[in-house]
């Protein structure tokens, strides 16, 4: 029985496995939400914030897929008065950040050779030290437990504890604990403690 909802709230309730046990109706609700309410709103948001080489429609599809999986897993908590599109926009914002990180270009070591005369040896030395430090950090991260490593990698990529907690479906307190213990273990591995 297909009911045409008058509001975002009624349609969103049909998306939730806890409120709607019929998977076929949930799929129809997703299609309706995407076509009528959310798709255009989220795509407009992506078009205004996407400054990457990634196509806007690809980011939208990625965000929709992630939202679908998270809702089906029961990780979305419906809040009265908060549009579901805000949740999907948050996911889209993270997809844009991921695309931005993927497109970062590291300067090759050879560019240090083009520095002014007396700065060239120092620039080369800094570049080598930076490369060694990144390699040591990567080796240390590889020795950490998986979840702790993920928390530190996301933290180093610029994500806030709240964003990390949301992405990994853990509490902020656990994020802070993983970060603290991970940093302490990295110090131990490097011999700085």
pTM: 0.51
Q: What's the burial of 137, exposed, middle or buried (CB within 10 Å: 0-12/13-18/19+)?
A: middle
Looking at residue 114, what is its pLDDT? Answer: 53
Instruction: Provide CB contacts within 8 A for 130, sequence distance 6+.
Output: none
Asked whether the beta carbons of 103 and 53 are under 8 A apart, the reply is yes
Local structure of residue 107 (DSSP, 8 states)? P
Q: What is the reported pLDDT for 170?
A: 92
Q: Average pLDDT by consecutive 10-residue portion of the chain (193 residues)? A: 54 86 88 86 89 87 89 83 87 91 67 55 72 79 88 84 91 90 81 59
Question: Cα separation of 186 and 127, whole Å?
Answer: 22
Class assignment of domain 109-190?
mainly alpha
Asked if residue 16 lies in contact with residue 78, where contact means CB atoms within 8 angstroms, the answer is yes
What is the Cα Rg of the chain in Å? Answer: 22
Rounded Cα distance, 148 and 169, in Å: 13
pLDDT at residue 92, rounded to an integer? 92
The torsion angles phi and psi of 153, rounded to 5 degrees, stand at -65, -40
Q: How far is CA 116 from CA 108, 111, 112, 122, in A?
A: 17, 11, 9, 10
């Amino acid at each position: 029985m297909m009911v045409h909802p008058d509001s975002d709230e009624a349609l969103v309730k049909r998306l939730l496995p806890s409120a709607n046990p019929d998977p076929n109706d949930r799929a129809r609700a997703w299609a309706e939400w995407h076509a009528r309410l959310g798709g255009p709103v989220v795509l407009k948001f992506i078009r205004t914030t996407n400054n990457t080489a990634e196509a806007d429609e690809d980011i939208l599809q990625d965000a929709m897929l992630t939202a679908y999986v998270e809702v089906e897993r029961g990780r979305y908590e419906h809040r009265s008065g908060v549009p579901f599109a805000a949740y999907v926009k948050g996911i889209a914002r993270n997809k844009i950040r991921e695309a931005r990180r993927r497109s970062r270009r590291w300067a090759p070591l050879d560019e240090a050779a083009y520095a002014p005369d007396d700065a060239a040896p120092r620039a080369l030395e800094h570049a080598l030290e930076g490369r060694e430090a990144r390699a040591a950090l990567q080796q240390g991260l590889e020795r950490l437990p998986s979840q702790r490593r993920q928390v530190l990698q996301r933290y180093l990529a610029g994500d806030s504890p709240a964003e990390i907690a949301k992405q990994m479906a853990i509490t902020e307190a656990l994020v802070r604990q993983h970060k603290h213990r991970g940093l302490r273990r990295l110090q131990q591995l490097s011999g700085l403690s």
